[in-house]
Amino acid sequence: NEGTGNIAHDSIGNNNGEIHGASWVKGINDNALSFDGKNDYIRVSNNNLNPSNELTVIAWVKWDIEPSTGQHWANIISKNGDNEWQIQHSYGNDKFEFAVKTENARKYVWSTTKPVKGKWYQVAGVYDGKYIKIYVNGRLENKVPLTGKIKTSSSEIDIGRRTWRDRYFNGVIDEVSIYDKALTDEEIRELYNNLGG
């Protein structure tokens, strides 16, 4: 939550992100970064964020345009090497999408919520070794069976962009968190309530 500079600092570890074009604005909690949907993104390079058994990814997002009118498959956050995991907007159904690739399969799960312009959403993706799950605003909306260890690599993590066909996000992203464990329903709800619920 710096508010200035071209580095988004990791508040717990050393996985800082280099800001490319995105600008500091007011967020859901202190400062956030605004992305123009054209070429803005944050890159976390040479990171050690390689959960293999369980994973939780959380972000707060707010679109500056109607999501359905922006870039197809606009990315919120992704691990890029072998498409290990990502949270994005699904062009096919206009919902949030969480995807995870394991040694057994690559699976997708979609929210029931369709995001709209100008509203804050907490979106969370969880993999617990049995299911991939998607939460919106602290509530579990869908889950799909999946097993196996998550594919890992030393590749970068991008926020606001997915390198596959340069899928850019148009809006504000705040409070990005990555855990090497599967948070419970109660823990995700508590994180939501602490900031916006």
Model-wide pTM > 0.85: yes
For the chain, what is the total number of helices (H) and then of strands (E)?
A: 1, 17
- Cα separation, 183 vs 29, in Å, equals 21
Task: Tell me the pLDDT tens digit for each residue of 150-185.
Answer: 988 778 899 999 766 678 999 999 999 999 999 999
The stretch 22-32 carries a mean pLDDT of 93
- pLDDT surpasses 90 at 83: no
- Cα separation, 137 vs 140, in Å, equals 9
- Cα separation, 1 vs 5, in Å, equals 11
The stretch 30-54 carries a mean pLDDT of 89
Task: Tell me the pLDDT tens digit for each residue of 100-127.
Answer: 999 999 999 999 999 999 999 999 999 9
**Which domains occur in the chain, in start order?**
7-195 (2.60.120.200)
pLDDT of residue 172: 97
| 3-state SS class at 131 | strand
